[in-house]
Amino acid sequence: MGLFDRLKEGLSKTRKGFVEKVESIFSRGKIDEDTIEELEEILITSDIGIHATEEIANSLREKFKKGEAKESNSLKESLKKEMGLILGSSAPIVLFGEKPFVILTVGVNGVGKTTTIGKLASRFASQGHSVLLAAADTFRAAAIEQLEIWAKRAGALLVKHQSGSDPAAVAFDAIESAKHKNIDIVIIDTAGRLHTKSPLMEELKKVKRVVEKTMPGAPQEVLLVVDATTGQNALRQAQLFNEAIGVTGIALTKLDGTAKGGIVFAIKKELGIPVRLIGIGEGIDDLRDFDTKEFIGALFD
């Protein structure tokens, strides 16, 4: 199965929950103001978000009034174009600056953060980069063990302390080790924490401060991992983590298990934070760079 077909398969639940409803409207042939009202309702109920929905619907109404979207095919193409404009240009992780490139990875419990880190490490390693993983989730011994397994699988180095150690100390040691060994990329795992728990968020801020002091300009990427199946709650998580530590990119996991893939649009419109990666399956190659054109194509094809 090709990569595009894999993406289509991964988005099947979202497509069924959204595009099939849209197609049922277009199949009637007649396009009028009521058609756009119905489209607006579908967009809202597909987790695309109020502001993104308003922008899309208002643009479609304008085109309809100008006679630019009077038939189903032209309205459908306009819808795809407007959705693409909301998402903007694709923005994958791009390495820059002096070594090491530091990725601070954050998120709530159960979103697939450590697995995402492991897959990302494997990808970087396969591209010829040297990678070091920092096991700064010191609350769970299992998290350290899981990261160790991924490090071995990816051929990456691992810096870990005993369970219960200071996460900021792990981050410090990891960056110092990477600088000494001329490592290309450091990926820091942090404890899954509820975004509503202030003490844990304060600890996360401390980790970031230590990273910044240890290496000016780092972390170059603050990657928030969110679970697509949580829908609008993923947007709330992104808002609070962004307020706390300044998120630069999002990895959206479990898209293959949900009809709520529309949350991609809400996150981009509400927060302006790019979705850098999407998870569409369990396989190591199922963590994909988010590509706007490919995503829209897989939804509607």
Identify the CATH number of the domain in which residue 56 sits. Answer: 1.20.120.140
**Alpha-carbon gap, residue 286 to 159, rounded angstroms:** 26
Q: Which range has the top average pLDDT, 49-53, 72-76, 220-224, 243-247?
A: 220-224
What H or E segment, with its residue span, contains residue 287? strand 287-289
Residue 33 has a pLDDT of 87
Instruction: Judge whether residue 62 has pLDDT over 60.
Output: yes
Q: Same structural domain for residues 149 and 289?
A: yes
Instruction: Judge whether residue 198 has pLDDT over 90.
Output: no
Q: Same structural domain for residues 235 and 292?
A: yes
93: in domain:
no
Q: What is the pLDDT of residues 90-120, one digit of tens each?
A: 999 999 999 999 999 999 988 999 999 999 9
Better-predicted residue by pLDDT, 177 or 255: 177
**Alpha-carbon gap, residue 264 to 182, rounded angstroms:** 36
Q: What is the pLDDT of residues 115-174, one digit of tens each?
A: 999 999 999 999 999 999 999 999 888 899 999 999 999 999 999 999 999 999 999 999
190: in domain:
yes
Q: Same structural domain for residues 111 and 150?
A: yes
Q: What is the pLDDT of residues 220-232, one digit of tens each?
A: 999 999 998 888 8
Q: Same structural domain for residues 83 and 106?
A: no
The share of the chain scoring above pLDDT 90, in percent, equals: 63
Contacts of 102 (CB under 8 A, 6+ apart): 175, 185, 186, 188, 211, 215, 218, 219, 220, 221
Q: Same structural domain for residues 123 and 55?
A: no
Structurally, the chain folds into a number of domains equal to 2
Instruction: Judge whether residue 296 has pLDDT over 70.
Output: yes
Pick the last residue of a domain from 52, 87, 122.
Answer: 87
Q: Same structural domain for residues 145 and 80?
A: no
Pick the last residue of a domain from 36, 65, 87.
Answer: 87
What are the CA-CA distances from residue 4 to residues 132, 295, 301 (Å)? 31, 9, 10
Residue 285 has a pLDDT of 82
**Alpha-carbon gap, residue 4 to 249, rounded angstroms:** 23
Which CATH number is 191's domain given?
Answer: 3.40.50.300
Q: Same structural domain for residues 227 and 165?
A: yes
Q: Same structural domain for residues 152 and 293?
A: yes
62: in domain:
yes
Task: Supply the range of the domain harboring residue 42.
Answer: 3-87
pTM: 0.92
* Contact present, 97 and 109 (Cβ < 8 Å): no
Q: Same structural domain for residues 31 and 156?
A: no
Quickly state the pLDDT bin for 177 (edges 50, 70, 90): very high
Q: Same structural domain for residues 15 and 114?
A: no
Quickly state the pLDDT bin for 299 (edges 50, 70, 90): confident
Q: Same structural domain for residues 105 and 78?
A: no
Q: Residue 20 corresponds to which tokens in the numbers above?
A: 């099939």
Q: Same structural domain for residues 12 and 106?
A: no
CA atoms within 13 A on the CB side of 298: 24
**Alpha-carbon gap, residue 289 to 103, rounded angstroms:** 16
The residue assigned the tokens 């990456």 is 156
79: in domain:
yes
The share of the chain scoring above pLDDT 70, in percent, equals: 97
Pick the last residue of a domain from 59, 87, 115.
Answer: 87
Q: Dihedrals φ, ψ of 278, to 5°?
A: -130, 145
Q: Which range has the top average pLDDT, 14-23, 197-206, 209-218, 249-258?
A: 209-218
**Alpha-carbon gap, residue 51 to 57, rounded angstroms:** 10
